[in-house]
A and B are shown apart, each in its own frame.
Chain A
Amino acid sequence: MCKDCGCSLTRPAHNSNGHHHDHHSHSELHSNPQLNDKKTLSVIHKILDKNDIEAGHNRDHFNSHGVTAFNLMSSPGSGKTTLLEHLHEYTNLKYSVIEGDLETSRDADRLKAKGIDAYQIQTGSACHLDAFMVHSALHHIKLDSLDICFVENVGNLVCPASYDVGTHLNIVLVSIPEGDDKVEKYPVMFRRADLILITKCDLLPHFDFSISEAKAQISKLNPNVDVIELSIKDPRSMTQLAKWLNTHQRGA
């Protein structure tokens, strides 16, 4: 049993016993003969180990229900929620959304109004979601009948990149009004993407965003990533996204 939440999955060993064993297999203790009371302990230990273990637990949850999970990341206002509001018109895949914002449940309310199951996490002042927050949200989402679960992260191109929340793939958005220099300015985020969506492409005539410049930067940073030029007003691009999601389902 998962001790913290009572869910039926076995959690990987991350209690004190499990860790104890791990430390001893990787650590070396050296005593300095001149200073008997000083010890140097050599370990190689991931600083975000606890988060990563919880993330693995979340992935097990998704896997056991045959659900593919996508982490949606971008700056605020690049169109994550709007995209999710409209996606259902272009796909038969059934999806729910875990929403992360500092305050309000506006985004979840918007999705529910469209008939999409959504659960809102309010982070207070935290700038990113972590695996523990997503885990508690998972208990409010009915995974049984789902194909996809989107985790819409806090709008931020920096902090969410450092945290594995237990999703399978990362989708990063950059919108036309933000400018084509964002890829180069926020390399860690765009490096971690499995799909980059250039959103609000219907605004291209009004802004100096160069698609070819953005793509040149993307190919340096993340040569094998997929890129889709998207506008919710262009059904062809939405269909292209729906196809991508379809082919990137786990086990598909």
Chain B
Amino acid sequence: MHEYSIVSALIEQCEQLALENGANKVTRVAIKIGVMSGVEPSLLQTAFETFKLGEICQDAELEMQIQPLVLQCYGCNRSNQLEERHFICPQCKSSDTKLVEGEEMLLMQLELDTG
């Protein structure tokens, strides 16, 4: 259940950003979660609903974008979205590849109430 620690870090970040921008309320938190980030989105949602209470994010809605795997191939220089967890270039079958998207956990956008 490391999702709780991740949500604590997320809420702390939102509070800091709200403070820096003179906001008294956060109304929407948009995050991007890679399918191979090791985080379960539904647990993240539950943790967020619990941890936001009594904080500046109390009324915030959590918006999650699930990022599929994108593999960059050094063999043929093409990048492809992967449908399964098979890290070989679907075009040229090279294993000289790098995962460029799909492992991230990012805060993307905040909607702030400054009224």
Contacts and interface: CB of A to CB of B under 8 A. Distances in A.
Interface residues of A, number: 40
Interface of A: 19-20, 23, 27, 29, 36-51, 126-128, 130, 158-159, 161-163, 187-189, 191, 219-224
B27 A38 contact: yes
Contact of A48 (B9, B16, B114): B9
A84 B16 CA distance: 42
B5 interface: yes
B22 to A, nearest CB: 9
Given A47-B6, A127-B1, A161-B38, A223 B108 contact: no
Given A41-B17, A42-B109, A162-B38, A223 B5 contact: no
Nearest to B89: A223
Given A41-B21, A51-B9, A223-B87, A188 B36 contact: yes
Given A45-B107, A221-B87, A37 B114 contact: yes
Q: List the 7 closest A-B pairs by CB distance, nearest first.
A: A37-B115, A223-B95, A159-B2, A188-B38, A162-B38, A47-B105, A45-B107
**A-side interface mostly:** mixed
B23 interface: yes
8 contacts: A38-B113, A38-B114, A42-B108, A45-B106, A47-B13, A49-B9, A220-B87, A224-B95
B37 interface: yes
B87 A29 contact: no
A219 B87 CA distance: 8
B47 interface: no
Contacts, number: 107
Nearest to B112: A39
A38 B112 contact: yes
Contacts of B39: 162
B13 A222 contact: no
Given A39-B21, A40-B111, A41-B21, A46 B85 contact: no
A220 B86 contact: yes
B112 to A, nearest CB: 5
Contacts of B23: 39
A223 B88 contact: yes
B9 A43 contact: no
Given A162-B6, A188-B37, A19 B16 contact: yes
